């Protein structure tokens, strides 16, 4: 699945509810999911990690949608040329 396709899927499933909650409220849910990912990383259980990474990506996608940002376009605009500072791939920054 491509980033844009995923973002559209999350919009179809959750956008109306998330937009009604607003950017600040949705951001708080995103932060909670990042905390759950942190706990999963400590436990290092693959199945749990996969679910938490997916949740964080879904909440990030919905935040971007509420803010009017196309994640695929934003990512390509910043990282398609390598590291944004040194343009290296891999990064050669000190």
In a domain, 90, yes or no: no
Per-residue tokens: 43:
């436990």
Q: Report yes or no: 79 and 27 within 8 Å, Cβ to Cβ.
A: no
Closest CA to 84 of 69, 68, 92, 71: 92
Note whether residue 92 is domain-resident.
no
Per the structure, how many domains does the chain have?
A: 1
| CA distance linking residue 26 with residue 18, whole number of Å | 6
Is residue 87 in some structural domain? no
Note whether residue 47 is domain-resident: yes
* pTM metric for this prediction: 0.91
Q: Would you say residue 7 lies in a domain?
A: yes
CB-count burial class (<10 Å; 0-12, 13-18, 19+) for 10:
buried
Q: Is residue 61 part of a domain?
A: yes
pLDDT at 72: 97
- Average pLDDT for 86-94: 96
Q: Rg for the chain (alpha carbons), in Å?
A: 15
- Quote the domain boundaries for residue 66: 3-79
- CATH number of the domain within which 58 lies: 1.10.287.1080
pLDDT, tens only, 58-71: 999 999 999 999 99
The contacts of residue 85 (CB under 8 Å, 6+ apart) are 91, 93
Q: Is residue 51 part of a domain?
A: yes
């Amino acid at each position: 699945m491509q980033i844009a396709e995923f973002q559209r899927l999350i919009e179809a499933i959750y956008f109306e509810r998330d937009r009604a909650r607003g950017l600040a409220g949705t951001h708080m849910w995103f932060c909670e999911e990042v905390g759950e990912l942190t706990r999963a990383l400590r436990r290092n259980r693959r199945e749990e990690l996969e679910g938490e990474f997916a949740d964080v990506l879904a909440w990030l996608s919905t935040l971007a949608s509420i803010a009017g940002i196309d994640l695929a376009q934003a990512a390509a605009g910043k990282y398609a040329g390598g590291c944004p500072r040194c343009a290296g791939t891999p990064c050669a920054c000190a």
